[in-house]
């Protein structure tokens, strides 16, 4: 009985394959390749991400019993540890990097306006997360405070919940050193933690006519030009001042006025000091913007818990970067599917359902439609998961 296409095949229909093939041609990714093409490589990596395979052996062993279906799944003729490991080591990482960027752009475009926000401006949060690696195995990574690994610097769109810009560097590189690579947009807000209190890079944001909100790292030398103590502020706003930096270095690096806001967090019993070059927004709105910076932290936590960016399918620098970009591609793919199918569920819930159903044959919409769940019944028989749905039986 033909029950249709695999869930995984229906899922990958949302990938812009023509753009990927154009990138492969651009960087000659399939040169001298006979069977395991770049497209096969990408789909296998996405399968490993969504199904949460922990390593190269785990991934290839899981796929081995389904070799007859490789053609329908888009995996090519064979997926072995040797051909996958070699592909991770020698394939041009720019193919996967630029395709991840394309997926990011698509996800942001489709999810624009998905959430009501209290500001009309675009709002981005910038931060980094360290992916720790074992120096004896990943010999190419550098030490940073007795740790080795790579950093994933991410500009996160807090309105669409999709990363807008990603840079992977050695763990030893200071966070603020990447600020000059951010593609600043006029009129947008950029939120930074105190590690990014670098006046020479904040000046770049000012020149781009964008806005920043950054937490004070240490006590800065400044002269108060104006104090808004008499304005109607809430009890949580302790100070709202217009200042000029007074330090010899800082006043040269940032020669214009900026705004200094002192905010008291009643819940945490803490005081925060923020600097911003926006003089029109309310002080409470500036403090609230900084609160949204935690969305990028939640994204890092979600990525590490539910996708594979801590256990790698190769030990070379190329393999690590390809897998990270594949994880970003998988995240954006799930976000696009969630939007296109108008699903009223969390992204993690979508991923959790897909992780156990990729090799099933049933309509993707039926699988993710909550209204249909009450019509189906899941049973376990002989170690095999079986779903009875509308008179048809689906085996996993």
- Where residue 270 sits, what CATH number does that domain have? 3.90.350.10
Token pair recorded at residue 297: 């932290």
* Residue pLDDT, tens place only, 336-390: 998 888 887 877 788 888 988 999 988 998 888 876 655 554 433 333 444 444 4
Residue 144 has a pLDDT of: 66
Question: Residue 246 belongs to what domain range?
Answer: 115-300
Is 47 contained in some domain? no
H helices of 91-184, in order, are: 93-110
Token pair recorded at residue 255: 């020669």
Is the same domain home to 250 and 133? yes
Please tell me the distance from the alpha carbon of residue 192 to that of residue 300, in angstroms, as a whole number.
15
Token pair recorded at residue 121: 């401006």
> Of 355, 362, 335, 270, nearest to 112 (Cα)?
335
What single DSSP character describes residue 95? H
Average pLDDT value for the chain: 86
> Of 262, 213, 258, 214, nearest to 237 (Cα)?
262
253 has pLDDT over 90: yes
* Residue pLDDT, tens place only, 190-239: 999 999 999 999 999 999 999 999 999 888 899 999 987 655 455 689 99
The domain boundary, picked from 300, 329, 350, lies at 300
Phi, psi (rounded to 5 degrees) for 155: -95, 115
> Of 125, 145, 149, nearest to 135 (Cα)?
149
Is the same domain home to 285 and 165? yes
The model's pTM = 0.85
Is the same domain home to 277 and 378? no
Residue 106 has a pLDDT of: 94
* Residue pLDDT, tens place only, 116-137: 677 788 999 999 998 888 766 7
Q: How many domains does the chain have?
A: 2
Is 386 contained in some domain? yes
Please tell me the distance from the alpha carbon of residue 287 to that of residue 262, in angstroms, as a whole number.
9
* Residue pLDDT, tens place only, 292-321: 899 999 899 888 888 888 778 888 889 999
Q: Are 162 and 110 contacting, i.e. CB atoms less than 8 angstroms apart?
A: no
Is the same domain home to 136 and 265? yes
Helix (H) or strand (E) holding 391: none
Is 79 contained in some domain? no
Is the same domain home to 396 and 250? no
Handedness of CA 248, 254, 256, 260 (dihedral sign): negative
Is 33 contained in some domain? no
Direct distance between the N- and C-terminal alpha carbons of the chain, in angstroms, rounded to an integer: 15
> Of 272, 285, 101, 300, nearest to 211 (Cα)?
285
Token pair recorded at residue 21: 């093939």
Is the same domain home to 123 and 259? yes
Residue 378 has a pLDDT of: 43
Concatenated DSSP letters for 300-358?
HHHHHHHSSSSS-S-SSHHHHHHHHHHHHHHHHHHHHHHHHTT--S-HHHHHHHHHTTT
Q: Are 302 and 126 contacting, i.e. CB atoms less than 8 angstroms apart?
A: no
183 has pLDDT over 70: yes
Is 311 contained in some domain? no
How many CB atoms within 10 Å of residue 355? 14
* Residue pLDDT, tens place only, 257-283: 999 999 998 888 889 999 999 999 999
Is the same domain home to 119 and 218? yes
Q: Are 358 and 47 contacting, i.e. CB atoms less than 8 angstroms apart?
A: yes
How many CB atoms within 10 Å of residue 310? 13
The domain boundary, picked from 251, 269, 300, lies at 300
Please tell me the distance from the alpha carbon of residue 8 to that of residue 5, in angstroms, as a whole number.
8
What single DSSP character describes residue 76? -
Is the same domain home to 372 and 264? no
């Amino acid at each position: 009985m033909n029950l249709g296409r695999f869930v995984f095949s229906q899922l990958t229909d949302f990938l812009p394959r023509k753009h990927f093939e154009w990138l492969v041609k651009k960087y000659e990714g399939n040169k001298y390749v006979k069977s395991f093409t770049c497209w096969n490589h990408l789909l296998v990596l996405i399968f490993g991400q969504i199904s949460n395979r922990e390593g190269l052996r785990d991934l290839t062993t899981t796929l081995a019993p389904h070799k007859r279906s490789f053609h329908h799944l888009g995996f090519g003729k064979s997926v072995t540890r040797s051909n996958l490991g070699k592909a991770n080591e020698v394939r041009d990482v720019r193919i996967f990097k630029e395709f991840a960027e394309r997926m990011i752009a698509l996800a942001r475009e489709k999810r624009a306006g998905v959430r009501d926000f209290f500001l009309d401006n675009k709002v981005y949060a910038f931060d980094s997360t360290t992916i720790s690696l074992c120096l004896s195995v990943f010999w190419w990574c550098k030490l940073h405070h007795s740790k080795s690994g790579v950093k994933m610097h991410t500009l996160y769109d807090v309105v669409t919940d999709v990363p807008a810009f990603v840079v992977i560097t050695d763990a030893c590189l200071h966070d603020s050193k990447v600020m000059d690579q951010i593609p600043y947009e006029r009129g947008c807000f950029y939120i930074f933690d105190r590690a990014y209190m670098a006046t020479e890079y904040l000046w770049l944001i000012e020149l781009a006519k964008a806005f920043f909100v950054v937490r004070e790292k240490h006590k800065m030398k400044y002269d108060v030009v104006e104090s808004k103590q008499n304005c109607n502020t809430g009890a949580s706003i302790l100070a709202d001042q217009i200042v000029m930096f007074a330090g010899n270095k800082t006043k040269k690096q940032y020669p214009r006025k900026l705004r200094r806001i002192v905010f008291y967090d009643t819940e945490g019993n803490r005081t925060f000091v923020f600097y911003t070059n926006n003089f029109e927004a309310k002080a409470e709105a500036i403090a609230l913007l900084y609160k949204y910076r935690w969305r990028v932290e939640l994204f890092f936590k979600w990525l590490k818990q539910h996708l594979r960016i801590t256990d790698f399918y190769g030990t070379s620098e190329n393999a690590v970067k390809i897998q990270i970009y594949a994880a970003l591609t998988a995240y954006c793919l799930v976000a696009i599917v969630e939007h296109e199918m108008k699903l009223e569920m969390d992204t993690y819930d979508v991923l959790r359902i897909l992780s156990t159903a990729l090799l099933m044959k049933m309509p993707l919409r039926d699988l993710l439609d909550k209204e249909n769940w009450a019509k189906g019944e899941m049973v376990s028989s002989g170690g095999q998961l079986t779903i009875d749905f509308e008179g048809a039986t689906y085996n996993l």
